Amino acid sequence: MRHIKWGLVVGLVILTLVSLGGGVTAIAKGTDKTVTFGQLTAKNPKRLAAIRQAARQQILKQAKAKKGNQITAVYQVKLPTHMTKKATLTPDGLQMNLLANHFKLKKITIPYSQLKGKVVNRYLPKANRTKSVKTTKMVALTFDDGPDPKLTPRLLKTLKKYHVHATFFEVGQSVARYPKISRAVLAGGNELGNHSWNHPNFNSIGTAKTVSQVTRTNRAIYQATGTLPQYVRPPYGNITAAEGRAIEQPVVRWSVDSRDWAYLNTRKDINEVMKDTHGGDIVLMHDIHAQSVAAAPTIIKRLKAKGYKLVTVSELLNYHALPGLQYFGAHDYRTTGK
C-alpha cells in the first residue's frame, strides 16, 4: 500500500507542475499543453515576429524545399499575428497549425532550440533557456560584403587556427556565385547574415525594393546552406522604420567601425580596431579586402591577450535579438530606423 500511495503522491506533484505550465510541460514525455502566443511572448509583438521567423525556417525544412519559388512562397504563408491564437507545447517542440498554404502543410513543430530567446524562458526546456551572461569580456567580429572566393577561405582558416567564431554579412549575388564558401562559413561554426542582394542604399530605393533585396538574399543563402539567415545588416547602416517592420528580421549594426574600406592598410586597420574596441562591442570589417583579412590574426591575438572572448553576434546578444529592433552592441539597441 505504501508504494501505491507514494506513486499517487508523485503523480499528483507531476500533474500540479504540468498545470502550472513552463519547461516541465515542454519536456514531459507524452505530455502536450495548449498555450496562447500571448503567454509564450508575454504579449510582446516583437517576440511573436521572431516566432514567425522561426516558423518560416521550419516550414521550409518540413517541406524539404529547395527551389527558389518555394523559398519566396514561405513569406506568403499566413502566420499568427494575434496573441489569442493558440499553439501546443509538445516533447519535440512548439506545434503550430497552419492555414491552407503553398506547401500543403497542416502543422509544423518548431524545435525548442530554434526558439531560444524568442519564447519566455519558463515555456522552454532548461537546455534551451537563456541565462544571464557577462559581456564585459565579449566582442563580436563581423565581416561584410563577401563571400570572396580567395579572401573568405583565408579568413576562415585564421578563425579556425585561433579557435574563434565571427559573423559574416553576405551579399546575395556573391552567395549565388560562391555557395560553397557560404557553406564553409557555417561549417566552421560561424554565423551568416543578410547584407542585401547587391548593396544598394535602402533609404533611396523604398520599402518594396528593400523587401525584395532582403528576400532575394534570404533565398540565395537558403539555397546555398539550407538555412534562412536570422539577421539583416543594411548597406551603409541605412534603414527606415517601415523597412524594418516589413522585413521582420533583427537588424545588426555596429559600435566599432574599422574603416578598413577607406584605409586599405593593415596596420591602420589593426590600430583602429584596438583603439576603439571594448567589451560588448560589435566590430565592423570586410572580408573582401586583402588588408583587412591580413589584419585579422593580429587583431584576434591582441583582443584575446586582453582577455576578450570573440563570439558570434547571437552569443553577444544572448540570443535575444528580435525583429523590429536594431542592435549596435551587447546592451545598445533601439527601434529599427530610429
Which residues are marked as active site? 144, 286
Report CA-CA distances (Å) from 220 to 55, 69, 182, 213, 269: 19, 11, 10, 11, 30
Strand partners for 309? 138
Kindly give the pairing relationship between strand 282-286 and strand 93-97.
unpaired
Sheet with strand 33-36: strands edge to edge? 33-36, 86-90, 93-97, 107-110
Cell 504540468 -> residue: 18
- In angstroms, the CA 71 to CA 75 distance is 8
Q: How far apart are CA 162 and CA 286, in angstroms?
A: 19
Query: Between β-strands 282-286 and 167-170, what pairing exists: parallel, antiparallel or unpaired?
Result: unpaired
Q: Is 310 helix (H, G, I), strand (E, B) or coil?
A: strand
* CA angle at 55 for the pair 44 and 170, rounded to the nearest 5°: 95
